[in-house]
Amino acid sequence: MFLSIFDIFKIGIGPSSSHTMGPMNAAVRFMDDLRAGRFMGVSAEDVRRLGCSLHGSLAFTGKGHATDRAVILGLLGYTPDRLDPDEAETRETEVRREKFIAPTGFPRLRFNPEEDLVFDYGQPLPGHANGLRFFAYGEGNRQMASATYYSLGGGFIVTASELEEKISRKPDALAKEKREAGYPYPFGSAAEMLVMGQQSGLSIAAMKRANEQVSISREALDEGMERIWQAMLSAIERGLSRDGILPGGLKVKRRAKHIHDQLIASRGNNQPMPHQVNDWLSVYAMAVNEENAAGGRVVTAPTNGAAGVVPSVLRYYRDHCPGSSDEGIRTFLLTAAAIGGLIKHNASISGAEAGCQAEVGSAAAMAASGLCAALGGSNEQIENAAEIALEHHLGMTCDPVKGLVQVPCIERNGLGAIKAVSAASLALYGDGSHFMPLDNCIRTMRETGRDMDAKYKETALGGLAVNLPEC
């Protein structure tokens, strides 16, 4: 499956792409399939009640990630990219009060979130750590239809049968499918990407652009990238302008505005500390992730939990790097999307599947490759930058306190951005040759995630999540 830049970078809402956006998208799809009569012998007018069960990580940390809210809104037809937060809050409150739901094209349906939305704390479903099931019932409470979905991170969802098909497909079959679809550079690995670059004389960004323009015009592609960039900037600016306490019960204070105010005030200092550039990187990333934690609008990059890394490094490029340009921003985004696509295809971007190495680690690799490209790096240097950034996140657990994307997630994005810039800089000092290929690093991340204990994979059952302050 070809992953577009608009698959990797999606405008949505917080606090989680896998636990909020994915379940919302799954609920929308279930209702669309019911409405369209895709369940044999079931029509929309025959449905009387709906149900949903959450499994694995969606059960253990779903309340902290607002998964229940996402399911309710998805059943109503809301999608993450078109959600009006004020309207959605009103509709959710109505459903919880009335215990009925009224989706377009259906009669008024019984749905009591306290009873019909079940957090199943047993074993995860067999396909993935993020599983959920939907049920439709008719007269006499007879089950008429059911469907199982998996949320793979980044807002991506698949049905159980689609996941089985995905697992069974071999890499060479995928490459053949890409060629038959007309993509001129159907690389499925970093090694293939480098070979195609050498043969064509094109940069990674240029090859990614050529693949995108099979199905979209150059103008539409550039307009879409500008929308992504402006959404990233907006998330940074909102985060830098707001203070107060983040929702969820941990009483975590927003800090980005206070830090930013101090950085602005220090500009008059004739001898700023040399490490202050790291503070700018951190504050940009923290601003985004505070917005995400508050349920605001962010861009998956490649997930919500890691949404601050790429925007931070891209803002650093624009505001702190001499010679930055709009073309450099587009080069950054295209390159980062190419690397993100390779990681998702060959490993995972889901914290519930592979820990935070799959989220912040992937984001850092994407940001490092994008910055390296924007600063004029060769394809080999870009691949090296991504490898360095990912390699030094290997083994990182996903252990959010109380299942909220706050501690340690907000600060972790800041440190991920710093690592990304360091990785790009190290790669630019070299000639692109290095010991450990990116493909091997991606494979190691996949294997490490497979071997990692489930309590360290977004279940809030281990690590920092259970080592709380005693006061």
DSSP string, 310-366: HHHHHHHHHHHSTT--HHHHHHHHHHHHHHHHHHHHHS---HHHH-GGGTHHHHHHH
Residue 394 CB coordination number (10 Å): 15
Q: Is residue 7 part of a domain?
A: no
- The whole domain housing 247 covers 171-466
Query: Does residue 90 have a pLDDT over 60?
Result: yes
At 416, list the tokens.
């991920």
Q: Which of 166, 199, 223 is the last residue of a domain?
A: 166
**Are 189 and 89 in a shared domain?**
no
Q: What pLDDT band is residue 469 in, cutting at 50, 70 and 90?
A: confident
How would residue 273 be classed by pLDDT, with cut points 50, 70 and 90? confident
208/120 same-domain check: no
Q: Is the pLDDT of residue 272 over 90?
A: no
- For residue 288, give both structure tokens: 């985004």
Check whether residue 42 and residue 134 sit in a common domain.
yes
Q: Pull the structure tokens for residue 17.
A: 């792409």
Residues 35, 175: one domain?
A: no
Count of beta carbons in the 10 Å neighbourhood of residue 427: 28
Number of domains in the chain: 2
* pTM recorded for the entire structure: 0.92
Query: In which band, very low, low, confident or very high, does the pLDDT at 470 lie, cut at 50, 70 and 90?
Result: low
Whether residue 194 is found in the same domain as residue 78: no
Strand partners, 51: 135
Q: Which two tokens stand for residue 386?
A: 């991504």
- The residues pairing with 133 across neighbouring beta strands, listed in sequence order, are 53, 148
The alpha carbon of residue 155 and the mean position of all alpha carbons in its chain are separated, in whole angstroms, by 6
How many Å apart are CA 213 and CA 358, to the nearest integer? 28
**What's the CATH number where 115 sits?**
3.30.1330.90
Interval 17-46: pLDDT, tens: 999 999 999 999 999 999 999 999 899 999
Q: Are 248 and 404 in contact (CB under 8 A)?
A: yes
Average pLDDT, the chain: 94
User: Do 298 and 395 belong together in one domain?
Assistant: yes
115, pLDDT greater than 60: yes
Do 340 and 449 belong to one domain? yes
**Residues in a beta bridge with 159:** 149
How far apart are alpha carbons 282 and 412 in whole angstroms? 9
Is residue 305 within 8 A of residue 409, CB to CB? The reply is yes
**What whole-number distance in Å separates Cα of residue 445 and Cα of residue 449?**
6
**DSSP three-state, residue 277:** helix
C-alpha closest to that of 281 among 425, 449, 431: 425
Claim to verify: residue 130 and residue 146 sit in the same structural domain? yes
375 with 423: CB under 8 angstroms?
A: no
Which amino acid type is present at position 293?
A
232-243 pLDDT, tens digit each: 999 999 999 999
**Phi, psi angles (nearest 5°) of residue 44:** -60, -40
Same domain, residue pair 191 and 67 = no
Per residue in 294-342, pLDDT tens?
999 999 999 999 999 999 999 999 999 999 999 999 999 999 999 999 9
In a domain, 62, yes or no: yes
Q: Tokens 């396909």 correspond to what residue?
A: 127
Please state, in angstroms and rounded to a whole number, the distance separating the CA atoms of residues 133 and 54.
7
Asked which of 114, 146, 166 is the last residue of a domain, the reply is: 166
Give the position of tokens 């490092």: 368
Dihedral sign (CA 163, 164, 168, 174) = negative
Q: How far apart are alpha carbons 67 and 298 in whole angstroms? A: 17
Q: How far apart are CA 90 and CA 10, in angstroms?
A: 25
Helices marked H in 151-308 = 160-168, 171-180, 190-200, 204-212, 218-241, 256-265, 276-293
Specify the long-range contacts of residues 80-84, CB closer than 8 Å, at least 24 apart.
80/10, 80/11, 80/12, 80/13, 80/20, 80/21, 80/24, 80/25, 80/155, 81/10, 81/11, 81/12, 83/13
Distance, in Å, from the CA atom of 218 to the CA atom of 210, rounded to the nearest integer, reads 9
Number of residues assigned to the chain: 471
